Amino acid sequence: MLDASSADPTAPAATVHAPRDGATRVFDLPARTRIAMVALGLIPFIHLAVTLAPVALAAAGRVEWNAAWMSLVLLFVLPPVAVRATTLCRALPAGQVESDSSAFLHWWFTAQWQVLFTRLPFLEECLRLVPGLYSTWLRLWGARIGSLVYWSPGVVILDRPVVRIGSRVVFGVGVRLNPHVLAAGPRGRVTLHLAPIVIGDDVLVGGYSLLLPGAVVAAGEATPPFRSVHAYSRFEGGRRVPERAVPSEEATG
Residues 224-234: tens digit of each pLDDT:
999 999 999 99
Q: What residue ranges do the domains of the chain occupy?
A: 30-248
The pair phi, psi for residue 111, each rounded to 5°, is -65, -35
pLDDT of residue 67: 87
Q: Supply the mean pLDDT for the chain.
A: 88
Q: Contacts for 71-76 with beta carbons within 8 Å, 24 or more apart?
A: 74/47, 74/50, 75/47, 75/51, 75/116, 75/123, 76/123, 76/127, 76/137
In CATH, what number does 30-248 get? 2.160.10
- Determine contact, residues 232/214, Cβ cutoff 8 Å: yes
Q: Given pLDDT bands bounded at 50, 70 and 90, which one contains residue 28?
A: confident
Residue 10 has pLDDT above 70, yes or no: no
Task: Sort 231 into a burial class: Cβ within 10 Å, 0-12 / 13-18 / 19+.
Answer: buried
Report CA 251 to chain centroid distance, whole Å. 16
pLDDT value of position 95: 92
pLDDT at position 39: 97
pLDDT, tens digit, 9 for 90 and up, residues 109-120:
999 999 999 999
Cβ atoms of 113 and 75 closer than 8 Å: no
Confidence of residue 160 (pLDDT cuts 50, 70, 90): very high
Residue 54 has pLDDT above 60, yes or no: yes
Query: In the 8-state DSSP scheme, what is residue 218?
Result: -
Check residue 253 and give its pLDDT: 63
pLDDT in tens, 88-143: 999 999 999 999 899 999 999 999 999 999 999 999 999 999 999 999 999 999 99
Q: pTM score, two decimals?
A: 0.87
- What pLDDT does 234 receive? 94
**Is 80 exceeded by the pLDDT of residue 242?**
no
